[in-house]
Chains A and B, each alone.
Chain A
Amino acid sequence: MRLRLNALIGGTLMALVVGTAVTSAFWTPQNPLRIAMRARLNAPSAAHWLGTDEVGRDVVSRLMAGAGTSCLVAALTVLAAVVLGSLIGLVAGFARGWVDRVLMLVNDALLAFPGILLALGLLAVMGPSQWGIVTALGLAYTPTVARIVRGAVLSIREREFVEASRSIGNSDAYTMWRHVLPGTVSPLIVLATSLFGWAILAESALSFLGLGVPPPAPTWGNMLSAARPYLETAVWLSLAPGACIALTLLGVNLLGDALRDHLDPRSSPQ
């Protein structure tokens, strides 16, 4: 029952975010990019539900427009990291031996680097753009995913059902795909949901350094970093994107948990 409620809340939140992002492509209350220097830093009112920012742009409109960019960047980043990291982790854990050693050597070297620094370096080369961010952050998160997946694979490959699969005559690739990979799904979903959060925040950090999604396109991250100087005079500027990020993360986490439980046959009734 509790589980259903979690899934319901998570689902509703995510539906809201996605709905908003889609709507913003056709309609926002006002043009999110229109500057109105005479209406700078207005408090929330009937005309501007969440006030205006430092150059007089409507915050609600910018939030709506930012939902799409932020979530898309985060989702693609996670997808890239999970696909690449799983592949590396799966091969390393299953093959072991020198393949494992070489892959993990490179992996650990990357892991020893702060992810954001790595992304920074990559972005400096590629130049700031949406795709640049996805590539840079995706690569930065890949080593973590690879480590987690490798660990799960190492424990699963010792289970007898893997040997049973080989004794039937299945190929290694099939065994990995059919018997080993599904077992890594639980830790992977937990990791992916938290990565989603990190990606949104990392994008904002990169924006802050001027390497994020280039202005004037709004993202929750660059809205948050732009609002920092006005924390005392115009608190809504920080609260609004902050609340959006928090609620989205909550939604992703709840949905991730529900998905994990749904995918695990052991959680079905006896």
Chain B
Amino acid sequence: MSLALESAIAVPVPGAAPLLSVEGLRVESGGIPVVQDVSFRIAAGEMLALVGESGSGKTATGRAILGLLPPGLTCAAGAIRLGEEDLARVAPARLRELRGGAIGMVFQEPMVSLNPAMTIGAQLGEALALHSRLSPEAQRAACLAMLRRVQIADPEGCLRAYPHEFSGGMRQRIMLAAVMLPRPRLLIADEPTTALDNLAQAEVLDLMVELARENGTAVLLVTHNLGLVSRYADRALVMQRGRVVEEGPARRLLSAPREDYTRLLVSAMPQRLPRPPRLPSEVLLEARGLTVDYPGRARLFRRLPGKRAVKGVDLAIQRGETVALVGGSGSGKTTLGRAMLRLVQPSGGQLLFRGRDVTTGSGEAVRDFRLACQIVFQDPYSSLDPRQRVGEIVAEPLRHEPGLTAAARAARVAETFEAVGLPGMDRRFPHQLSGGQRQRVAIARAIVRRPALVVADEPVSALDMTVQKQILTLIRSLQAERGFACLFISHDLGAVAEVADRVLVMQDGAIVEQGPRDAIFDAPQHPYTRALLDATPRLMG
């Protein structure tokens, strides 16, 4: 197989010598290989995608190129040639010169990759001052031009501002500006948009591709999302357990994968399968004119104006129905979801559960409502108490179930673990489980009390594509089996297409469009819906 690969990479983009060539790369952690026999080339101006799931070694490969492996990982063998130089062997001082100069890098978390204590101007200037001999005025002019180029509204003001004043998408654009300023020959982008919603993701990546094209920069895009590969990459490399499984032109790879693993990845892309039509049934939970306000921050002598996160939303969920609530970050969808369960107290409007008012108070109706509605959070790493065994976590909701003996409780927990596909795992601690398994535990906790409604807040956006698929399938099958209704909150229309009966699109705290799933996907009316649909990564012909 490696022979076939060799011949595949022997024909790069015609007429271009490889800018970077990696041969036989091996990265070890205490003698155990994390990456082995990885070889690839990138031509100048080419966009190569490195695809794989968590733990496939794709990030280690990207970092090895820059000599930025985290402690504990060492580059044990292989050559990394940039032009004439072997980066695996050059002096650290030379590597430092190349980093940020000839090779730029964009990291995953825009929240942490900009220094919160430095102004944007100072951070943009840093790389230029190191890697060019421009005068301070020329540097400033270059920074302003670049900020204008990445469509920052007020570049002058931006130079004086601090990172926390910007949203995630803006920060990643600023990061991109900083990295592209010294005009690198190679840009390594490691999951640059995984922390962003789909709209911001499309914006940032479109911009990245344009900038790379303008400067003739080659891009190594490290990602787990095949949709992005199909949209942006020329060629792709699929990695699994530290080895290259398949390599080829992105389009061919996705349309006609040769290896089983690639096929598995492709099949994990969200699909919109026909759903059986639903008969209208009684309304389970209804919000009427629901409004949520966040108070402003208290300053020394006054209170800053607050924010109305949800602006008078009407929403009814029927028994057994799956309603998807979609929108970008900051659209208020998470707040609405929390308010529907009264985890956030609504400041106006009415909440009716089975026709009874549960907006305020803590009477019997409210207690019934609390017991019948559960939530699954986005991040399975923070939603499980690290000090409890998962068996205890799942058993906890049963504390409030009256008249359940200890034996019955244990049986219910065991049966629930069975249902979510984790039989006999109840003695483990959360840290001993993978992300997907943790999310299964979170789902088990939500369904153990046999709820009538589960609010799932971005339940799959922190997970790998194949695991996403499994979790979505699990939610669907549990729903078919147990008949609970689901409010599925997501920014990813791909995931929504898999599970939803009905879709509500939310922008700036208000519902701008709603309808049956297929109507929304096939004939979106509102421009915001159309923008969301366009930004959704999917396989393209």
Contacts and interface: CB of A to CB of B under 8 A. Distances in A.
Interface of A: 159-161, 163-170, 179, 182-183, 264-266, 268, 270
Given A167-B374, A167-B375, 20 more contacts: A159-B382, A159-B383, A160-B378, A161-B382, A161-B383, A163-B343, A164-B383, A164-B442, A167-B343, A168-B374, A168-B397, A169-B370, A169-B397, A170-B396, A170-B399, A182-B385, A183-B386, A265-B387, A265-B429, A265-B431
Contacts of A161: 382-385
Contacts of A270: 431-432
Interface string B441-480: 0100100000000000000000000000000000000000
A182 B383 contact: no
Given A160-B382, A161-B382, A161-B385, A166 B343 contact: yes
- The 7 A-B pairs at the shortest CB distance, nearest first, are namely A160-B383, A161-B385, A265-B429, A168-B397, A160-B377, A160-B382, A169-B400
A170 B445 CA distance: 13
A264 B367 CA distance: 34
Interface in B259-295: none
B382 A165 contact: no
B221 interface: no
B517 to A, nearest CB: 27
B377 A163 contact: yes
B371 interface: yes
Interface residues of B, number: 26
Contacts of A265: 386-387, 389, 429, 431
Most chain B CB inside 10 Å of its own CB: which residue of A182, A265, A270: A265
A74 B445 CA distance: 44
Interface in B212-262: none
Nearest to A159: B382
B382 A268 contact: no
Contacts, number: 58
B387 A182 contact: yes
Interface in B97-133: none
B37 interface: no
B341 interface: yes
Interface centre among A161, A183, A264, A265 (most CB of B within 10 A): A161
Contacts of B383: 159-161, 163-164
Interface of B: 341, 343, 367, 370-371, 374-375, 377-379, 382-387, 389, 396-397, 399-400, 429, 431-432, 442, 445
B399 A167 contact: no
A70 B225 CA distance: 63
B377 A165 contact: no
Contacts of B386: 183, 265-266
A183 B432 CA distance: 18
A168 B449 CA distance: 9
- Which of B385, B429, B445 is packed against the most chain A CB atoms within 10 Å? B385
Contact of A183 (B375, B387, B389, B431): B387
Nearest to B379: A160
Contacts of B367: 169
B429 A165 contact: no
The listed residue with most A CB atoms (<10 A of its CB), out of B341, B375, B442, is B375
A33 B533 CA distance: 88
A161 B429 CA distance: 14
A165 B377 CA distance: 12
Contacts of A182: 385, 387
29 contacts: A159-B382, A159-B383, A160-B377, A160-B378, A160-B382, A160-B383, A161-B383, A161-B385, A164-B375, A164-B377, A164-B445, A165-B396, A166-B343, A167-B341, A167-B374, A168-B374, A169-B370, A169-B371, A169-B400, A170-B400, A182-B387, A183-B386, A183-B387, A265-B389, A265-B431, A266-B431, A268-B429, A270-B431, A270-B432
A159 B396 CA distance: 17
Contacts of A170: 396, 399-400
B505 to A, nearest CB: 25
Nearest to B449: A168
Contact of A168 (B378, B379, B382, B400): B400
B457 to A, nearest CB: 9
Contacts of B389: 265
Contacts of B400: 168-170
